[in-house]
Structure 1
Amino acid sequence: MADADGKQAAPLPAAEAPFDAIGLARSLLRRTRSGALATLERDGGAPFASLVTVATDLDGTPLLLLSRLSAHTLNLEADPRCSLLLSQGGKGDPLAHPRLTVAGAVVRSDEPRVRARFLARHPKAALYADFPDFAFFRLVARAGHLNGGFARAATLTGPELLTDLSGHDALAETEPGAVAHMNEDHLDAVALYATRLAGEEPGPWRLTGFDPDGLDLVAGERTARVLFPERLASPAALRPTLVAMAAQARGLPGA
């Protein structure tokens, strides 16, 4: 990003950026299904980049399923520091599309919630997730660097990347049942959220998770993020919010 004199200017902190840097960064976190993971080679050599699939925890923390037979996992066992580049890409110049780099360190997780959320995002991974050399990891974010396209760059702190879960202690318990209920009994509403509220093309849309800020949906390889009209005050607010959103979607022109 250049300043008024044409010199290269440092990215602004997200809170000072002239666009919604935090919202865009969180959207990339929630929507992107794969990314480039950069680790530090064990022998002190060059940084090592590899492609990995990605999901998110309730607060948006990136989740990874890694094999100990992979070079990047062996690197992380020696030094857990890493960075993860997320970009959804699109038509035209790849550099014209938003991308986010998350820097931090990985921590192995055996929590059932982490496994469930990852497999909801990547169902085919269930074929190998329980192999003895595979394990789930959380990437604990220290900072983020967002390039939102031309002249739209910003830096973010770890907390700015994530969704605040204050007041939602019961969310981890209620989320699986709510997701299953919507996918089993209300796929018509899920489709409306994706097509009418998120502007996505029709498809076999299903819900993979929710958090205080919104819903995550998938249809094959496609993803969608649908924000709630306002942050949920508590998990109990989910049902009336979903009902209201479905009614809104049905009332839109062309529905």
Structure 2
Amino acid sequence: MGGTDQGEAAGGTDGARRGPARPLPAAEAGFDAVGLARDLLRTVRSGALATLEPDGTPFCSLVTMATDADGTPLMLLSRLSAHTRNLLADPRCSLLFSAGGKGDPLAHPRLTVVGRAAPTPEPRARERFLARHPKAKLYADFPDFGFFALDPSAGHLNGGFAKAATLTRAELLLDLAGAEGVVAGERGAVEHMNADHADALALYAAGAGGGEGRWQLTGLDPEGMDLVAGERAVRVAYPERVSDMGALRKALVAMAAQARAEAGAP
């Protein structure tokens, strides 16, 4: 099974008669494909970027990644790199988000996002990327570096054995309509939580399976928060979508109170 795509393996004996089974659309996949894909987008911080050489040869390289508020993949790339020159000539590309872990690498979920990547002047791209990768501040302002955003056209999710699905752009990205206030207030809220509420962040992370550690909030959006502690990252979802900063504050207070109660803390 080592070289068998798990989406094909899902076809079973019927697949053997008809040929390899195609992954189902996310809505028909039989598991939360959209939730898993968005979690991978938000938590995986490095992956493989595939671009096209001028002669059409595929070229794959390792890059670090973050996401915009809606989940759009963001990269900080040097124009001296082959993959950047390739993108500037032909923006078509794909990014592989792989969770990794112990044991068989093919047993862990991964997501391939296909689309077009282009330079972005959006200040939020810089803020979110550097919050996710603070060491990149050392070179982010070098003249040859710039931020790129990948506008996805589709996604291919492999959630492990017999769990595969295809996703549309709308399923990969979060609709921010009606939540402009949350997006606008994100940076202030992130700074406030990191400065004054480290205990609550630790509770949120622990409740989401992140374990103990000095957790830092790197970004938030209408559906959840992104936290990191060293090399670990975790996505924390709110009980329900929030559309303004008042609703966000209420959700965070309620989540902290519930986490303290479950942990038996005063």
**Same fold at TM > 0.5:** yes
Report Cα offsets for 1:59-110 as digits up to 9, x if no partner: 0000000000000000001100000000020000000000000000012112
Question: Which residue in the other structure is 1:198 paired with?
Answer: 208
Question: Which residue in the other structure is 1:29 paired with?
Answer: 41
Question: Which residue in the other structure is 2:67 paired with?
Answer: 56
Report percent identity of matched pairs. 69
Report Cα offsets for 1:162-185 as digits up to 9, x if no partner: 111010122332000000000000
- 8 Å contact kept, 1:87–1:97: yes
Give, in angstroms, the shift of residue 216 of structure 1. 0.3
Give, in angstroms, the shift of residue 58 of structure 1. 0.2
Structure 1 segments, 4+ long, off by >4 Å, are: none
Alignment of 1:102-121 (within 5 A): 102-121=113-132
Corresponding residue SS for 2:39? helix
Q: Find the partner of 2:95 among 80, 84, 88.
A: 84
Question: Which residue in the other structure is 2:4 paired with?
Answer: none
- 8 Å contact kept, 1:61–1:139: yes
2: CA distance, partners of 1:254 / 1:81: 51
Q: Find the partner of 1:239 among 235, 249, 253.
A: 249
Corresponding residue SS for 1:43? coil
Alignment of 1:95-244 (within 5 A): 95-195=106-206, 197-244=207-254
Moved more, 4-13 or 199-208: 4-13
Q: Find the partner of 2:104 among 93, 107, 112.
A: 93
In structure 2, stretches of 5+ residues that fail to align are 1-9
In structure 1, stretches of 5+ residues that fail to align are none
Give, in angstroms, the shift of residue 3 of structure 1. 4.2
The aligned length equals 253
- 8 Å contact kept, 1:168–1:235: no
1: CA distance, partners of 2:29 / 2:46: 26
TM-score, with length taken from structure 2: 0.93
> How big is the alpha-carbon RMSD for the aligned residues of Structure 1 and Structure 2?
1.1
1: CA distance, partners of 2:152 / 2:27: 18
2: CA distance, partners of 1:132 / 1:222: 30
- 8 Å contact kept, 2:156–2:166: yes
1: CA distance, partners of 2:247 / 2:118: 32
2: CA distance, partners of 1:199 / 1:11: 29
1:38 aligns with 2:50: yes
2: CA distance, partners of 1:223 / 1:182: 17
2: CA distance, partners of 1:94 / 1:122: 25
Report Cα offsets for 1:101-140 as digits up to 9, x if no partner: 0000012112211100000000000000000000001100
TM-score, with length taken from structure 1: 0.97
Moved more, 167-176 or 156-165: 167-176
2: CA distance, partners of 1:178 / 1:90: 32
